[in-house]
Amino acid sequence: MTILENFLKNKKVQKTLATKPGEEGFSLVELVVVIAVLAILSAVAVPAFVGVQANARASAVKNGLANIVKECIVLDADNKLKSGADHFALSDNLVNPEERTMAIEEMLEILRTEDPKLSKLNEKYAVKENINGKTLMEIDRGAADFFGILNTGVHLNGITNDHENKKMWVATRSHQRKTFPGELDNMVAGGQPSNITRQENVVKECYEEASIPEELAKASEPKGFVSYNMQAGTTLRRKILYVYDLYLPSSFIPLPNDNEVEKFDLVPVETVMETIKNRPHAFKYNCNLVIIDFLIREGLINDDLKNFNKLVEGLRCPII
């Protein structure tokens, strides 16, 4: 019996998930967990950027999610799994975001006992139908990709410009981190909590990760976003990363202020570009996208490059 079958047969879960005959329930379609739709979509992978292989094949996504759909179905009145259903449903008794958030967290607590990989990170992400939609509920950051929740984050390029000799501060992730230990990273990056603005998040992450004071962090300039869809194991990452540039005085030296970053190195931009081109896996995968976006804006990657237009378009991949 699978983890999800055990999960769905748990009586506490049944009480929250099950709906009476004739009731539609609060569908997770409205909460962007459209597993049935995702199962038939194709081409859900990060495009290849400067030699970076796509992280997942469309067929793998389609087949993998199709199997999840078969398991993630609503229980009937006899506590049996209905055949042919294509989605979870929350009870329609849950009428506001707070109640839905609480119900989902209760179910996640049960699921975490079955799957240790489903960690609790104690940071809430907003669940929305689209990026500008209203918040339907909140979900712990550690479960967002498990349900394919659209989520956002901020990534900041730390730049120095000494007589047109541009350099970029590159972070090395702590070897103690559970995700991507020891890989290179943007100077500052972090997911977007539901309870603060993006600008507040930039200031917070600047201080936490690089000891950048608030006044200096507020000088960061928003430069748009990059986006991608990506399968990672049995999870689906649907991400919009808001990009910021921060030009720092040559006298400023960033210092790690938490356990996430091991060190910072000031690297010539041309060297960073060569690393992206020749050793793309040296960087955490999505940091490549942020840096490529910077290189295009700076004119260091231009239409002399074969498939330049596809590269530019790929950085703003439509979110499924």
- In this predicted model, what pLDDT tens digit does every residue of 29-87 receive, in sequence order? 333 333 333 332 323 333 333 333 344 444 544 454 444 444 443 333 333 333 445 55
- Of all residues in the chain, the percent with pLDDT exceeding 70 is 71
**Domains (range + CATH), the chain:** 3-148 (3.30.750.160), 152-314 (3.90.79.10)
* Contact (Cβ atoms closer than 8 angstroms) between residue 158 and residue 168: yes
What's the DSSP call for residue 180?
Answer: S
Question: Using CB atoms within 10 A of its CB, is residue 160 exposed (0-12), middle (13-18) or buried (19+)?
Answer: middle
Dist. CA 113–CA 10, nearest whole Å: 12
Dist. CA 304–CA 315, nearest whole Å: 18
Q: Phi and psi at residue 16, in whole multiples of 5°?
A: -80, -40
Output the pLDDT for position 109: 82
Measured distance between the N- and C-terminal CA atoms of the chain, rounded to whole angstroms? 31
Q: Which of 198, 176, 173, 174 is nearest to 186 (CA)?
A: 173
